[in-house]
């Protein structure tokens, strides 16, 4: 059903089904295990599924579990030693949350620890006692986090990889259009080039997020590293296009930069091939007639920028194409 919808609506359907299944499964599992507050399992499952939209779902589940255990241990220890009374309760909560917030700054895995510690301290005075309450809280979070991860893996497990592949090819196509405009050296294209630079930047930001959305299991770290490397290679290619623009759009440079423009056209063809999912021959080393030494001898800033940009493009585009092949995107 999701495939029959538009890409945007299909993503919404996937998110809705994942959320519904995760919340329901967490509720039933927590109830089956006779946990006293199954709604905490439901909340944890929802938080983990929501994290799949923003990336790093396994990391979110792990951080939530570690933070819960840390907060439960701190809260239980304080609840055991604090004297009875509202003043000691308020002081215990203030001290525990302040300490955990201090150590949690910059540490995502401690983000939920102050919340858990407060629940254990405040509820520890009841009939359950702090130890039982801490254990229940940890179990509820672990159940919900586990269910959330399983729901993401069980429903549309290949979607994130497919989305990443599609976005990578679209980014290659956008880079090809931008490089072709830059290589023309026409001042009338300045506004369009600026717009497309901003669009390519947005696409690469989204591609980086899509790379983080893919859930990897232990033992496939090479693939994870290759996805991150592909995104970095794209950013380097974009920087090369910026450098080329400084040369090709220098006033009066179009006539004397024809050889570098022809070389850039080869790079455009390679990017267009990647955008269609087709492997391309590597550009290889730059022709020495286009090397930077010519620009140095003539003290030509426009030629120098073109020479640097083309040389870097050969290296970075070949690296990008290799990443496409490693990830089987071509």
Which pLDDT score is estimated for 286?
Answer: 75
Q: Flag residues of the chain having pLDDT under 70.
A: 1-12, 51-59, 124-129, 156-160, 213, 215-225, 251-256, 288-289, 291-300
Which pair of structure tokens corresponds to residue 265?
């056209």
Which pLDDT score is estimated for 43?
Answer: 85
Which pLDDT score is estimated for 209?
Answer: 79
Q: In angstroms, rounded to a whole number, what is the distance separating the alpha carbons of residues 302 and 312?
A: 16
Question: Measuring CA to CA, which residue among 34, 250, 223, 29 is closest to residue 145?
Answer: 29
Which pLDDT score is estimated for 220?
Answer: 46
Which pLDDT score is estimated for 260?
Answer: 80
CA separation (Å) from 216 to 90, 158, 161, 222? 43, 11, 10, 10
Which pLDDT score is estimated for 221?
Answer: 46
Q: What residues contact residue 179 under an 8 Å CB cut-off, 6+ apart?
A: 241, 244, 264, 267, 268, 271
Residue with tokens 């946990």: 35
Q: In angstroms, rounded to a whole number, what is the distance separating the alpha carbons of residues 175 and 183?
A: 12
Which pLDDT score is estimated for 231?
Answer: 94
Give 26's DSSP letter: H
Which pLDDT score is estimated for 2?
Answer: 47
Residues in the chain: 330
Which pLDDT score is estimated for 11?
Answer: 62
Q: What residues contact residue 327 under an 8 Å CB cut-off, 6+ apart?
A: 165, 168, 223, 226, 227, 230
**Contact predicate 240/313, CB 8 Å:** yes
Which pLDDT score is estimated for 328?
Answer: 86
Question: Measuring CA to CA, which residue among 116, 187, 146, 189 is closest to residue 42?
Answer: 146
Which pLDDT score is estimated for 210?
Answer: 78
H helix or E strand, kind and range, residue 214: none
- The greatest distance separating any two alpha carbons of the chain, rounded to the nearest whole angstrom, comes to 87
Which pLDDT score is estimated for 128?
Answer: 61
Geometric angle at alpha carbon 301, from 299 and 307, rounded to 5°: 100
**Contact predicate 271/321, CB 8 Å:** no
């Amino acid at each position: 059903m999701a495939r029959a919808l538009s890409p945007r609506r299909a993503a919404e359907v996937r998110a809705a089904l994942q959320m519904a299944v995760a919340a329901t499964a967490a509720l039933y599992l927590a109830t089956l295990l006779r946990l006293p507050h199954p709604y905490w399992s439901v909340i944890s499952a929802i938080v983990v599924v929501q994290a799949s939209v923003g990336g790093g779902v396994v990391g979110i589940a792990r951080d939530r579990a570690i933070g819960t255990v840390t907060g439960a241990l701190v809260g239980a220890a304080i609840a055991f030693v604090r004297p009875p009374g509202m003043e000691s309760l308020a002081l215990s909560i203030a001290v525990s949350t302040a300490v955990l917030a201090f150590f949690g700054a910059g540490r995502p895995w401690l983000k939920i620890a102050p919340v858990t510690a407060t629940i254990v301290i405040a509820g520890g005075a009841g009939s359950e006692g702090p130890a039982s309450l801490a254990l229940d809280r940890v179990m509820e979070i672990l159940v919900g986090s586990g269910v959330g991860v399983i729901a993401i893996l069980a429903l549309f497990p290949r979607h994130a990889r497919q989305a990443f592949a599609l976005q990578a090819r679209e980014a290659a196509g956008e880079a090809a259009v931008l490089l072709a405009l830059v290589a023309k050296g026409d001042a009338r294209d300045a506004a369009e080039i600026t717009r497309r630079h901003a669009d390519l930047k947005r696409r690469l930001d989204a591609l980086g997020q899509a790379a983080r959305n893919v859930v990897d299991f232990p033992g496939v770290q090479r693939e994870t590293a290759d996805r991150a490397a592909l995104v970095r290679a794209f950013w380097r290619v974009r920087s090369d296009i910026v450098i080329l623009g400084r040369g090709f759009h220098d006033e009066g440079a179009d006539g004397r930069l024809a050889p570098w423009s022809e070389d850039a056209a080869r790079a455009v063809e390679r990017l267009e091939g990647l955008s269609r999912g087709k492997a391309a021959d590597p550009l290889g080393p730059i022709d020495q007639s286009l090397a930077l030494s010519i620009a140095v001898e003539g003290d030509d800033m426009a030629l120098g920028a073109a020479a640097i940009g083309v040389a870097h493009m050969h290296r970075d585009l070949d690296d990008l194409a290799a990443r496409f092949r490693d990830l089987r995107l071509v």
